[in-house]
Structures are given as C-alpha cells and as structure tokens.
C-alpha cells in the first residue's frame, strides 16, 4: 500500500459545528448512522480537501454554504484536513506523514495548506497525482455515482480504459508528429515551387549581366562617397557629443558647488536656528529672575535716595523761600529805619520851627492878653485833642500796615504749602499703585504678544521656506522658453523678433495642457514642439535667410497662411479613449489649426490595453505614459525620463507662479511687519520694565509721605484762617481810621473858629504865626505818633521775624547736610548697582543684538539656501538639456554607425566636406537612375542560381525522406497505442468477468469492443449472458444487478491500476442481503491492497470492517462521531 488516510478532521464544516476527528485504519473503514446524521458530509469533506471545484458535487449552492450554520450559532469559517501516511516516501517530503488543509472563509474563498505551508489547488493536485489520485477519479464514488458507471456510454467506457492505460501519452506524440508532418509537407511544396521559378531566370541572365557590372562599378563609387559623408557626419556628431559632455561635466561641477552651498546654508540655518533658540532662552532668563532681583535692590536704594533728595529739595526750597522772605523783611526793616530817621529829622526841624514861632508869638502877645489867653487855652486844648486823635489814627494805620504785611507773609506761606501739596500729590500712593498694576498688566500683555509674535514668525518662516520650494519646483517645471532658447536657431530668431514682427512663437509656447495629458502630448508632438509658427510664408523665408546669414543651424517654420490641415477620421467611441490630441490643447482659437497640423489623427488613450482594443486603425495612438502605436503597426515605448526636454506648459502653472510670488511677497511683508512689531514690542517691554522699577521706588516712597501731606493740609488750613482773621482786623482798623479822620476834621474846624476869635482882623500876623505853629505842632505830634506807634513796633516785629527766619534757615541747612551725607552714600551704592545693572543690561542688549543679528543672518542664509536651490534647479535643467543633446548626438552617432556598417569594407572617398560628398553622390545617383532597373544578381546569377537549384533539389529529397520517416513514426505510435490499449482492455475485461462471476449467480457480464479491428473508432459495451447462454442488455437487469456490474467494473479498474484508497458512499444501497455479503467479502479482499472508506447501512459490510465510525445528530442539529476498532 503506497499511502493511506490516517485521519480526517472537520471544524465548522457542514453539520460538524465543532471540531470532529476520524482516525482511519489502512484497511476497510465503515461510516454508519441514521439518515440525515451527516455521514455523507465526511466524504464531502474528503472530496473538498482533494480539490473538487464544484459546490454542486458537494451538495451545496456555493462554497460559503459549506460553513456550519444554525439558527442559534454560525461558524466564522470552516476547516477540513486529512493526514496521509508517507512512511514509504511516496511524497517528496522527509516527514513520515503529510497533512492537507483546506479552509473556507465567509465570502466563499478557500485556502490550501500542505504541512502548514500556504499552497495552491494545483500544488495539491500535483502532489496527489503522484499516487494516481484525482479530485474526480474513479476511486471516489459518491451518492448517485454508482448509477453513472451503470449508464456510462460505450465511448465513455473506452475513454476510461484509455485513461488508465495512459493512451494520452501516445496521442500527444502522434499529434506532435502530425504537426511536424504538416510543416514538412508545406516546406516541400514551397521548395518545389521555388525550384520551378529558378528555371525561368536562366534565359534573362546574359542580358542583365552587362548592365549589372556597370551598375556595380557606379554603386561602389557611390558607396565610397556615402561612406565619406557618413564618416564626416559621425566625426561631427562625435565632436558635438564631446562638447556636450564637457558642458555636462561643467554643470555637474556647478551642481556639486551649488549642492555644497545648499549643504553649507542648510547647516548654517540649523546652527542659527539653534543659536536663536538658545538666545531666546537666555533672554528669558536674563530678563526674568536675575534682572528682577537686581532691579529690586536698585529700586530699594532709589527709594531711599529719592526720599533723601525730596527732603533735601524741599529743605533747599524752604531755605530759598526763607532767604527770599528774609531779604524782603530786611528791605522792609531798612525802609522803616530810613523812615524813622526821616521822621526824627522832620521832628527836629518842626521843633526848631515851633521854637521860632513861639518867640514871635510872645512878641505879638505883649498887649492885652487876658482874653487871648483864654481863647488860646481852648485852642491848645483842641490841638491836644487833635494830636491825640492823630496819634490814634497813626496807630490804627500802623496796625493796618502790620496786618497787611502779615497777610502777605501768610499768603506766601500758603502758596508754598499749596506748591508742596501739589508736589506731594504727584506721589499719591493710590494713583501710583494703580499705575503700577496697570504697568504689570501691560507688561504681561506685551510678553504674551511677544510669545505669539515669535510663534507666528516661526510659522511664517516655515511657510515661506515651503512656498519658495514650491516656487523653485514650479519654475523648474514651467521654464519652457528657457529650454527652447538653448537651441541656437530659436535663440537667434527670437533675438530678431523686433526686426521680424511675424514670429509668433514655438509650438511648445503657444499651447498649454492639463498635467495628466502632459507626457502623452509631449511624446505625440516630439521634435515638432520646436517648430516655429510665423504669420506668413514671407516671414518664414526671412527667418531662413537670418539663419543662413548667422550660420545658426536649421529650423522648421509653420506659416499660418499656407498651413494645410488634413481631415481627421472620426474618433471611435470606446472605453479608454480620451480623445484627439489636438482637442486636449488649450490655446488661442487662431492657433487651433497649428495643433491640428502637429497632431493630425493622433489619439490619446488611457493605456496599452485601450490601444490594443482598437488594434491597427487609421489613428496614431499615444498612451498617457508615452507609448506610441503607429497606424503601420509599429510600436514605440518603454521607460521615459520625466520632464526632460521641451514640453507644453501645464495649465496649473499658468497662475501658480503668480500666486506663489504673491504669497511669498505677502509672507515676506508679514514677516517684516511681525519683526518690526516684535522689536517695537521688546522696546516697549524694556521701557515699561524700567518705569515699573521707578514706580516700585515711588510706591515705597509715598508710604512715608502720607504724614507730611496731612501736616501740609493742616498748615494750609491754619494759614487761610489767619489770613481771614487779619483781613477782618484790617477792615476794623480802616473803619476806626475813617472815624478818627472825621473827628479830627471837626476839631480842626472848631479850633480854626476859636483862632479867628482870638486874633481878629487886626491881628493877622499873629494869627498866621499861630496857624503855622498849630500846623507844626500837629505835624510834630503826627511824626512822634508815627515813630512810636508805627515804625517802632514794625521794626521790632521785623527784627523778631528775621531772627526766626535765621533759626529756621539754620535748621533746614542742618537737615540738608545730614540728608546730603546719606544721599552721597546711597548714590555711591546706586552707582555701583547701576553699573552692575548696566553691565547686566548691556549683556542683555548684547544678547538681544546678537539674536537680532543671528535672525538677520538666518534670513540671509535662508535666502542663499533658496537662491542656491533655484540655481541648482536651473543647472539641473541645463544638465538635462545637455543630457538630451548628448543622447541625441549619441543616437545620431549610433544611427550613423549603423548606416556605416554596410560600408565597413568600403574605403571612404576623398572629399572636401559633407556638401561636396552629397553633390557628387547626387550626380552619380542620377547616372545610376538613368541605367534603369538593373538586376544586380545577374553578375553571379549563373553560379548562384545553379547552386541554389541544386540545393533546392537536395532539400526536396531531404524533405521527402523526412516525411517518410514521420509517417513511419505515426504508424509505429498507432501500433503501440493499440497494443497498450488492448493489453489494458484485456486485463480489465478479464478482471471484470472474474469479479462479476464471484458476485453474480444467475448471469455473467463481459466487456466487448464495438470495433475489434480499430477499437478507437468504437466504444466498449457490457454484455450480459444468462444461465442458458443467452445474451441480454444491461437495461434488463435489476437495480441491485446493475450495482454489481458497476462494482465489478470499478474493482476491475482497481485491479489493473490500483489507487491507494477508495471513497464509497452507500454503493450497496440497492443490494439484497446475499449480494451485500458477497460485496462485503469483495471489499474485504480488496482492502488488503487499498484503503477503503465506505458509508453503509449494510450489516455484512459493517461486520467485515476493520474500523466502524458512528455519526449521529444531536438535538441542536450538530453531527457527532464515535469510532470503534474491530
């Protein structure tokens, strides 16, 4: 036994919802169980693993239906596996067993594995073919298959015997030989025709020989001239190639340098970005805790210094005000002293005058004096009263002057106090604290704004770099004219555009395309992209003359007035066809004819399959990848370098550059504005931090200034009250003076009346003396009163005030000295700290300056980087252009080299230049043309034709011999094929008869050929012979008898070509007990040679089995398996 199935595993397959296993023995294995329990599902699983493709054979609509499904539960997938014995080494594996697995997924797809390795169905079938097992082989009999064997047609029975006989090998050899025979026959016919044709040549050879010799001589000379021309062109192409190589090498060196610049700039950018980040951190640190700590120390010292300065300033101001007041008082004192001296002098003069008048009066009174003395006493009494009144008036006037002076002093003090209060109001702690809080909020906002600006700057720089990269790529992709101008002819003509107004542009410049069609249209247009479109034929001729005069190469011109466009065939309406190439170009309407001329009947298609679907047509086809299908059948294509050479400008590039430039301008402007804002922001932050430091000092200072403000306000209130009281007193004095003045006038009038009585009209001189004396005495009394009541008290008051002011000045000067000493110490400390702060601030400014400088360098580096990238792109384009030129020169050289190959043994003629070679070649060609049609083979036609005729005759003989040999081989194959078939047939027929005789009693079955002479033209039939020797048909047998015939045929085939195992499903269903026992014994017998797995209900078969497997169905509709070894 070559191999056998050792076990079968099922999980989720059909009715086997959970994992179930059957361990088979090498002999007879019986699977039993009630109908519908799932027995046949076991054989379905085996067939499924072996590779059956039809789900119908496995009693399912599709493979997904093979997965276990119940209302309460459904398996996710199904898996079946078998293990085959490999102890005999029949399979090409070192292991002792082989495991085959086939898994079904929910979507119905299946997967094979051999020994846990993913495999294909073909690999499984090839593996099982090693032991002659096929998915639909004769060793697998499922339900209903037994009837197939019974109803098999004679031809099918013959084919079954052919299959086991291996006739297909002979048939293959025969077909191969017949094909070879056909080829030989065809060659033989062709050779015979050619042989007959050769005979007709002989008559014309002599006449053609002479012309051929002359033609050969001229042709040799022409070849020499052509070789010379090709050699010169090769030398020119080689020189151009070497020049192009030099240009490419130059561009490579430039690219190396440019790439080095890019690398250096990139590294510099990275270094500068890292440096700026580090500087930002350092600025944050320096402008943070360290700066605040130092600033706080300085501010504390400034608070103390500010307080001392305020005290010194206020003290100095008070000293100044004291000096001013003292100067005023001293001036007033001098004025009083001067007035006193004047009054004393006036008093002395008045006393002298009084003495003189008194003497004169005595002389006048020497007469009757009694009445006069009485009147005089009254006058004197009145004079005394008037003197007293004048004294009181002068006293009140003095008091009024003193009060007025006091008011001025009070007003001065009030003005000073109010100024001090206004100054102190500047240091109002509430206002300062509010301003301090506002400053902190503003600094916080500005700091947040600075962070936001820094982030925005970073994002904008990234965006700028990205946009500049896009701009570089877009420029590199859209620079059509730059590439065109490298062509000498185009460059020369474009430089003459002002002189030649009719040059409209190149084909490449006049059209724009969508990106997806760019490559296809570039290939479709080819070199015609460089054709120059002009307005007229005259312009084209002018351009030709310019090129000739400048020796600037050649160009092709398309004059709009002479351009003829052929009619285009109708575009086929098929999937994959995009449309006519000329319709995919975007251009001005007047240039439509140009592109119709350029592309003619070219179609743009999706891909190669789309082109193939059209086949050879009137249209030229170009795929989107650039593969070309010519109407002639020629195909050009393969790998193409992208974006090399001239191409149409893409539609999306039309506005892309403008948009990118606008975007870059906006971004650059935004960066500049943000940098300006950030710089201004930083300056504001610095200024606000400085102001904050000063305010912190004022906050501390104003805390001690509150008491001074209170005292100033109290002093101002007191001074205002004093001024008000003094003004009231002055008003009282003014009223008193007014009353006294009135009373004095009344007394003086009364006195004057008495005097007139005293002197009468005759005593006029005496009266005048008395009047004058009275006036002098009045003035004297007034001067004495003024000196005693006004000037003396005022002098005393001013002296006291001057002494007070002096004392006050000394106190202020003492305080100034004390505070200035303290201030000197504080100023030194502040100076030291400010020096430290200046160094610190200077360092911070240096860092900020360094950061700004680094930012500037960064922008410069980024600019250089972008410029270098742009330059690299340009150089790359130039290199690509020269690479194309090099390829063109190489292609030209290669083409010329191929053209030169026919002239390998030809010595080039001596010529002046290419034009000379062409001219001479044209002359010679004309002479050769004049010779007419020449048969050059006539030179050697005799020998050649004769030799060819002999060769053909020999070939005909050889082909005839080959044909005979092939026919012999075919006959031999047919003989062996028939012998092999007959041997197999005889063996099977004998075994069939022998086996059937064992199981049948009433009749016997035999196999017969329908055509004994040629068995392949007929079939194999089964004949039944009853007990008395009568022949009858198979249709006359019962179902059980037919089953015995079919089983006999199966086992007869097995005996001749044994399979390692047989899978049988209820083949004994139609047998009675006796025949069942016979079949059981037959199965027992053949199980010694091959493994048999049978599904049965027959006790006779079960009793003969080596192993019995019971299959039952649970209430939940699950199949269970129980095995028993017998």
Question: Strand 1107-1113 relative to strand 78-85: parallel, antiparallel, unpaired?
Answer: unpaired
pLDDT at 803: 76
The whole-number average pLDDT for the span 332-351 is 73
Task: Count the neighbouring beta carbons within 10 Å of the beta carbon of residue 694.
Answer: 17
Of 6 and 721, more confident: 6
At residue 1008, the 3 state secondary structure works out as strand
Query: Which helix (H) or strand (E) is 499 found in, with range?
Result: none
Position 114 confidence tier, pLDDT thresholds 50, 70, 90? very high
- What percent of the chain has pLDDT above 90? 5
Position 391 confidence tier, pLDDT thresholds 50, 70, 90? low
The whole-number average pLDDT for the span 885-892 is 76
543 shares a domain with 606: yes
The whole-number average pLDDT for the span 229-246 is 86
The whole-number average pLDDT for the span 24-34 is 91
The whole-number average pLDDT for the span 502-516 is 85
Position 794 confidence tier, pLDDT thresholds 50, 70, 90? low
Q: Is the separation of the CB atoms in 1054 and 1090 below 8 Å?
A: yes
Q: pLDDT at residue 705 above 50?
A: no
Residue 58 sits in a domain whose CATH number is 3.40.50.300
Position 482 confidence tier, pLDDT thresholds 50, 70, 90? low
Cβ partners under 8 Å of residue 804, min gap 6:
none
Distance CA 833, CA 297 (A): 8
Query: Which helix (H) or strand (E) is 1000 found in, with range?
Result: none
pLDDT at 716: 65
135 shares a domain with 15: yes
What b/e string do you get for 342-378 counting C-beta neighbours within 10 Å, with b at 16 or more?
ebeebbeebeebbeebeebbeebbeeeeeebeeebeb
676 shares a domain with 603: no
Across 207-221, 972-986, 1090-1104, the highest mean pLDDT is recorded for 1090-1104
pLDDT at 1000: 79
629 shares a domain with 593: yes
pLDDT at 291: 62
Rounded to 5°, angle at Cα 134 from 130 and 139: 105
The reply to whether 690 falls in a domain is yes
In sequence order, the β-bridge partners of residue 602 are 620
pLDDT at 483: 56
605 shares a domain with 496: yes
pLDDT at 862: 76
Stretch among 239-243, 504-508, 589-593, 866-870 having the lowest mean pLDDT: 866-870
The whole-number average pLDDT for the span 764-782 is 60
CB-side neighbour CA atoms (13 Å) of 1065: 21
| Domain closes at, from 672, 703, 734 | 703
The whole-number average pLDDT for the span 232-244 is 86
669 shares a domain with 597: no
The whole-number average pLDDT for the span 539-552 is 87
454 shares a domain with 580: no
The reply to whether 861 falls in a domain is no
Position 761 confidence tier, pLDDT thresholds 50, 70, 90? very low
Kindly report the three-state secondary structure assignment for every residue of 333-399: HHHHHHHHHHHHHHHHHHHHHHHHHHHHHHHHCCCCCHHHHHHHHHHHHHHHHHHHHHHHHHHHHHH
The mean predicted confidence, pLDDT, of the chain is 76
Q: Could you say which DSSP state residue 791 is in?
A: I
688 shares a domain with 605: no
Q: pLDDT at residue 1037 above 60?
A: yes
Q: pLDDT at residue 480 above 60?
A: no
pLDDT at 1014: 83
45 shares a domain with 23: yes
Distance CA 118, CA 101 (A): 9
The whole-number average pLDDT for the span 564-592 is 84
CA gyration radius for the chain? 69
pLDDT at 903: 79
Q: Is the separation of the CB atoms in 523 and 625 below 8 Å?
A: no
Residue 566 sits in a domain whose CATH number is 1.20.1060.20
pLDDT at 863: 76
Q: Is the separation of the CB atoms in 37 and 1112 below 8 Å?
A: yes
460 shares a domain with 598: no
Residue ranges in 704-791 assigned as alpha helix (H)? 706-759, 764-785
Tokens of 417: 């106090």
Domain count, the chain: 3
Of 417 and 493, more confident: 493
- What percent of the chain has pLDDT above 70? 74
Q: pLDDT at residue 865 above 70?
A: yes
Per the structure, the complete domain to which residue 26 belongs is given by 1-139+1059-1126
From start to end of 766-868, where are the E strands? none
The reply to whether 1031 falls in a domain is no
The whole-number average pLDDT for the span 252-258 is 86
pLDDT at 513: 85
Position 845 confidence tier, pLDDT thresholds 50, 70, 90? confident
Q: pLDDT at residue 781 above 80?
A: no
The reply to whether 1094 falls in a domain is yes
The reply to whether 729 falls in a domain is no
Q: pLDDT at residue 749 above 70?
A: no
641 shares a domain with 668: no
The reply to whether 517 falls in a domain is yes
Residue ranges in 1000-1072 assigned as alpha helix (H)? 1039-1056
The reply to whether 49 falls in a domain is yes
Position 1052 confidence tier, pLDDT thresholds 50, 70, 90? confident
The whole-number average pLDDT for the span 511-539 is 86
Query: Which helix (H) or strand (E) is 963 found in, with range?
Result: helix 941-999
Distance CA 697, CA 300 (A): 6
Q: pLDDT at residue 819 above 90?
A: no
pLDDT at 699: 54
Q: Which of 716, 796, 809 is nearest to 326 (CA)?
A: 809
Q: Convert the pLDDT of each residue in 1090-1126 to its tens digit.
A: 889 999 888 888 888 999 999 988 887 888 888 766 5
User: What is the widest separation between alpha-carbon atoms in the chain?
Assistant: 236
Residue ranges in 135-204 assigned as alpha helix (H)? 145-150, 154-165, 167-201
Q: Convert the pLDDT of each residue in 345-383 to its tens digit.
A: 776 776 777 677 767 666 655 544 455 456 556 656 655
Query: Which helix (H) or strand (E) is 817 found in, with range?
Result: helix 792-900
Rounded to 10 deg, the angle between the 792-900 and 651-703 helix axes is 160
Of 864 and 747, more confident: 864
How many helical (H) and strand (E) elements, i.e. helices and strands, does the chain have? Answer: 25, 25
The whole-number average pLDDT for the span 842-866 is 77
Position 777 confidence tier, pLDDT thresholds 50, 70, 90? low
664 shares a domain with 554: no
Across 424-433, 654-663, 861-870, the highest mean pLDDT is recorded for 861-870
Q: What pTM value is reported for the model?
A: 0.36
Q: pLDDT at residue 83 above 90?
A: yes
Position 701 confidence tier, pLDDT thresholds 50, 70, 90? very low
Q: Convert the pLDDT of each residue in 640-681 to its tens digit.
A: 765 545 566 655 555 566 667 777 888 888 888 887 887 787
pLDDT at 368: 46
Torsion angle of the four alpha carbons 766, 770, 772, 773, in this order, in degrees rounded to the nearest 10: 130
Stretch among 66-75, 700-709, 948-957 having the lowest mean pLDDT: 700-709
Position 8 confidence tier, pLDDT thresholds 50, 70, 90? very high
Residues 1074, 1076, 1080, 1086, CA torsion sign: positive
Q: Which of 376, 381, 364, 353 is nearest to 777 (CA)?
A: 353
Q: Is the separation of the CB atoms in 921 and 903 below 8 Å?
A: no
The whole-number average pLDDT for the span 971-996 is 80
The reply to whether 953 falls in a domain is no
Q: Is the separation of the CB atoms in 656 and 467 below 8 Å?
A: no
Q: Which of 875, 877, 888 is nearest to 244 (CA)?
A: 888
What b/e string do you get for 160-182 counting C-beta neighbours within 10 Å, with b at 16 or more?
bbbbbbebeebeebbeebeebbe
Q: Is the separation of the CB atoms in 975 and 252 below 8 Å?
A: no
Tokens of 136: 């639909």
pLDDT at 484: 56
Tokens of 680: 């201004």
pLDDT at 762: 46
Stretch among 307-311, 445-449, 622-626, 856-860 having the lowest mean pLDDT: 307-311
């Amino acid at each position: 036994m070559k191999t056998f199935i050792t076990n079968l595993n099922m999980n989720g397959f059909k009715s086997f919802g959970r994992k179930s296993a059957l361990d088979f023995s090498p002999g007879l294995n019986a699977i039993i169980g009630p109908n519908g329990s799932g027995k046949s599902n076991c054989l379905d699983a085996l067939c499924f693993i072996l590779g059956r493709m039809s789900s119908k054979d496995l009693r399912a609509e599709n493979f997904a239906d093979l997965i276990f499904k119940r209302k309460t539960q459904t398996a996710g997938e199904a898996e079946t596996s078998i293990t085959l014995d490999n102890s005999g080494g029949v399979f090409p594996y070192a292991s002792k067993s082989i495991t085959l697995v086939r898994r079904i997924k929910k979507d119905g797809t299946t997967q094979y594995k051999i020994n846990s390795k993913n495999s294909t169905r073909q690999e499984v079938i090839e593996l099982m073919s090693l032991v002659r097992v096929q998915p639909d082989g004769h060793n697998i009999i499922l339900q209903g298959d037994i009837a197939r064997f019974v109803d098999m047609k004679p031809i099918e029975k013959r084919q079954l015997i052919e299959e086991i006989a291996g006739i297909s090998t002979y048939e293959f050899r025969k077909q191969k030989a017949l094909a070879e025979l056909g080829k030989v026959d065809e060659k033989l016919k062709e050779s015979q025709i050619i042989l007959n044709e050769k005979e007709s040549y002989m008559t014309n050879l002599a006449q053609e020989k002479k012309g051929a010799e002359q033609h050969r001589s001229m042709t040799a000379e022409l070849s020499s001239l052509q070789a010379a021309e090709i050699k010169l062109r090769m030398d020119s192409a080689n020189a151009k190639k070497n020049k192009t190589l030099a240009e490419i090498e130059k561009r490579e060196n430039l690219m190396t340098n440019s790439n080095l610049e890019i690398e250096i700039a990139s590294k510099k950018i990275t270094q500068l970005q890292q440096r700026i980040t580090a500087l930002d951190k350092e600025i944050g640190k320096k402008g943070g805790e360290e700066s605040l700590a130092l600033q706080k120390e300085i501010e504390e010292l400034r608070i103390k210094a500010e307080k001392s300065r305020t005290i010194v300033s206020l003290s100095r101001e008070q000293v100044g005000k004291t000096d001013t007041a003292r100067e005023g008082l001293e001036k007033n004192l001098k004025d009083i002293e001067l007035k006193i001296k004047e009054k004393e002098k006036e008093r002395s003069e008045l006393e002298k005058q009084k003495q003189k008048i008194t003497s004169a009066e005595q002389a006048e009174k020497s007469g009757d004096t009694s009445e006069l003395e009485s009147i005089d006493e009254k006058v004197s009494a009145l004079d005394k009263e008037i003197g007293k009144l004048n004294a009181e008036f002068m006293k009140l006037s003095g008091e009024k002057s003193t009060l007025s002076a006091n008011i001025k002093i009070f007003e001065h003090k009030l003005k000073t106090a109010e100024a001090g209060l206004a100054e102190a109001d500047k240091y109002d702690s509430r206002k300062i604290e509010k301003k301090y809080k506002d400053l902190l909020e503003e600094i916080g906002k500005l700091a947040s704004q600075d962070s936001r600006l820094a982030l925005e700057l970073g994002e904008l720089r990234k965006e700028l770099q990205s946009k500049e990269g896009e701009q570089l790529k877009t420029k590199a992709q859209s620079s059509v004219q730059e590439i065109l101008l490298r062509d000498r002819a185009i460059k020369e003509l474009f430089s003459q555009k002002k002189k030649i107004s009719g040059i409209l542009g190149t084909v490449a410049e006049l059209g724009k395309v969508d990106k997806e069609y760019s490559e296809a249209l570039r290939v479709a247009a080819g070199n015609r992209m460089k054709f120059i479109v002009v307005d007229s034929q005259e312009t084209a001729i002018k351009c030709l003359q310019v090129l000739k005069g400048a020796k600037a190469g050649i160009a092709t011109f398309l004059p709009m007035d002479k351009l003829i466009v052929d009619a285009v065939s109708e575009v086929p309406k098929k999937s994959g066809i995009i449309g006519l190439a000329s319709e995919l170009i975007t251009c001005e309407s007047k240039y439509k004819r140009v592109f119709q001329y350029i592309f003619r009947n070219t179609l743009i298609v999706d891909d190669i399959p789309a082109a193939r679907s059209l086949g050879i047509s009137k249209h030229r086809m170009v795929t989107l990848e650039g593969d070309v299908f010519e109407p002639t059948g020629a195909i050009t294509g393969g790998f193409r370098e992208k974006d090399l050479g001239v191409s149409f400008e893409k539609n999306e590039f039309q506005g892309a550059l403008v948009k990118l430039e606008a975007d870059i301008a906006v971004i650059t402007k935004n960066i500049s504005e943000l940098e300006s804002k950030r710089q201004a922001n930083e300056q504001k932050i610095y200024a606000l931090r400085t102001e904050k430091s000063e305010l912190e000092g004022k906050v501390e200072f104003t805390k001690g200034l509150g008491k001074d403000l209170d005292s100033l306000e109290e002093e101002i209130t007191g001074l205002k009250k004093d001024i008000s009281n003094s003004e009231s007193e002055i008003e009282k004095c003014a009223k008193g003076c007014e009353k006294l003045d009135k009373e004095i006038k009344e007394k003086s009038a009364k006195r004057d009346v008495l005097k007139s009585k005293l002197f009468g009209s005759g005593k006029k001189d005496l009266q005048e003396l008395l009047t004058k004396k009275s006036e002098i005495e009045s003035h004297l009394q007034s001067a004495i009163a003024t000196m005693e009541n006004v000037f003396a008290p005022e002098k005393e008051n001013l002296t006291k005030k001057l002494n007070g002011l002096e004392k006050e000045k000394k106190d202020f000067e003492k305080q100034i000295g004390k505070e200035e000493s303290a201030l000197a110490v504080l100023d030194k400390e502040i100076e030291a700290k400010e020096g430290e702060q200046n160094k610190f601030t200077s360092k911070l400014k240096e860092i900020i300056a360094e950061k700004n400088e680094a930012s500037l360098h960064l922008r410069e580096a980024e600019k250089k980087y972008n410029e270098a990238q742009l330059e690299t792109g340009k150089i790359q384009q130039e290199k690509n252009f020269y690479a194309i030129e090099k390829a063109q020169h190489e292609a030209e050289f290669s083409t010329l080299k191929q053209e030169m190959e026919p002239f390998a043994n030809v010595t080039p003629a001596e010529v002046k230049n290419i034009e000379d070679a062409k001219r001479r070649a044209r002359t010679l060609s004309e002479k050769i043309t004049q010779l007419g049609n020449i048969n050059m083979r006539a030179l050697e036609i005799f020998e050649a034709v004769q030799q060819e005729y002999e060769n053909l005759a020999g070939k005909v003989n050889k082909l005839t011999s080959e044909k005979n040999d092939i026919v012999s081989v075919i006959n031999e194959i047919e003989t062996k094929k028939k012998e092999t078939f007959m041997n197999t047939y005889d063996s099977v027929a004998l075994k069939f008869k022998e086996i059937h005789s064992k199981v049948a009693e009433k009749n016997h079955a035999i196999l017969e050929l329908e055509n004994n002479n040629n068995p392949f033209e007929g079939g194999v039939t089964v004949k039944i012979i009853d007990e008395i020797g009568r022949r009858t048909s198979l249709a006359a047998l019962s179902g059980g008898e037919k089953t015995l015939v079919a089983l006999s045929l199966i086992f007869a085939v097995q005996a001749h070509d044994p399979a390692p195992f047989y899978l049988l499903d209820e083949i004994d269903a139609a047998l009675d007990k006796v025949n069942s026992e016979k079949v059981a014994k037959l199965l027992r017998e053949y199980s010694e040679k091959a493994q048999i797995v049978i599904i049965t209900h027959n006790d006779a078969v079960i009793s003969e089995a080596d192993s019995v497997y019971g299959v039952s169905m649970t209430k939940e509709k699950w199949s269970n398996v129980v095995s028993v070894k017998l």
